[in-house]
Amino acid sequence: MLQISNLTKRYGGQAALDNVDLSIAPGERVALLGHNGAGKSTLMKMVLGLLPPSSGTLTIAGYAPGSRSARDLTAYLPENIAFHPALTGREQIHHFLRLRGRSAQEADGLLAKVGLADAARRRIGTYSKGMRQRVGLAQALIGSPALMVLDEPTTGLDPVSRREFYALLDELASRGTAILMSSHALSEVEVRTDRIAILSKGRKVADGSLSKLRSGADLPLTVHIHPRQGCSPQIVSVFPEARHAGEILIVDCMQADKLGILARIAALGDMIQDFDILPPSLDDIYVQISRSAA
Ligand SMILES: Nc1ncnc2c1ncn2[C@@H]1O[C@H](COP(=O)(O)OP(=O)(O)OP(=O)(O)O)[C@@H](O)[C@H]1O
């Protein structure tokens, strides 16, 4: 759906994007991560046809970005979307529908999809930040887009709204919509996207599923051991490297040493009440990849 090859964007002598390749298939959910100024917005603006590339190619289902065909296929949710405070949610969506040459009758269905059916007749000036974000999402859903470009879409949403938002994205992806989403909320994208692309200083420094990035990073796993009452000293004698966090003992271990650690835990038998093995988080992986790219 989206095909980007050797894309470069220069502002004066400075490359905001440097030889970036990225492709997204129908139904794929891709998170675009990177530090402030890494080039995420620049890339998104180029996908939308708002900025021309300095070199390289970018197509949407084979069409040039910004062309009528590409615009018909693409939806965009900016990070900060401004609405007219005097309009109701319904009037605002009517306006967006008219701009897209569609029937105003679609407005109620779109607002219901984002959980705003009850507030549709209230003025947007009375909406909370999360509600305004949902109006933005409703406008992005106009015309069942084949490619959705979402810039920090969950900013301002509470935890329940975030969950509903991702459920909506899952539904869209299951019907074939390709999704490109920039975010700094790593714990969310870790579980809600299929692939993660990381930009650093305009270059793509990682691209793959979480498990691929995890095995590439080769970071330690963390084992949390919960000792049975009074058994902590015996466990520490077996795991002298353990750190204490309240009652819990924490042991870091490389992937290759996991079975050895499990054998030591098994040998302690009843002295252990419970244990958890935690793989490195996207946060850990992101920090490591960003550091080695710097
Ligand atoms: N119009 C412009 N003229 C000159 N430099 C620009 C322009 N727009 C962006 N840049 C530079 O290009 C680089 C990439 O900026 P961009 O906005 O794409 O980053 P970003 O990853 O979206 O950052 P953030 O997470 O802060 O939104 C930055 O160094 C920025 O200063």
pLDDT band at 80 (very low <50, low <70, confident <90, very high): confident
Question: Cα–Cα distance between 155 and 80 in angstroms, integer?
Answer: 9
Q: What is the mean pLDDT of residues 243-272?
A: 91
Ligand 1 centroid to 190 CA: how many Å?
Answer: 24
In the chain, what are the domain boundaries? 2-208, 217-293
Q: What is the mean pLDDT of residues 23-41?
A: 95
Backbone angles phi and psi of 129, in degrees to 5: -60, -40
pTM over 0.90: no
Longest pairwise C-alpha distance within the chain: 73
- Minimal-distance CA residue to ligand 1 atom 10: 16
Spatial strand order of the sheet with 147-151 comes to: 74-77, 147-151, 178-182, 29-34, 195-200, 203-208
Q: What is the mean pLDDT of residues 178-195?
A: 91
The CATH number, out of the four listed (3.30.70, 3.90.70, 3.20.20, 1.20.120), of the domain defined by the range 217-293: 3.30.70
Domain 2-208, what fold? Rossmann fold (3.40.50)
Residue linked to tokens 């490389």 = 254
Which of 36, 42, 47, 149 is the pocket-test mutation for ligand 1 (most atoms within 8 Å of CB)? 42
Which of 11, 50, 181, 189 is the pocket-test mutation for ligand 1 (most atoms within 8 Å of CB)? 11
Pairing outcome for strands 178-182 and 29-34: parallel
Residue linked to tokens 């979307």 = 81
- Sign (positive or negative) of CA dihedral 139, 145, 150, 155: positive
Q: What is the mean pLDDT of residues 249-259?
A: 90
pLDDT given at position 164: 86
- pLDDT tens column, 145-170: 999 999 998 887 888 888 888 988 99
- pLDDT tens column, 192-246: 899 999 999 999 999 999 989 988 887 889 999 999 999 999 999 999 999 999 9
| Confidence check: pLDDT of 252 > 80 | yes
Question: Cα–Cα distance between 105 and 109 in angstroms, integer?
Answer: 8
State how far the alpha carbon of 208 is from the alpha carbons of 28, 113, 123, 134, in Å.
12, 31, 43, 29
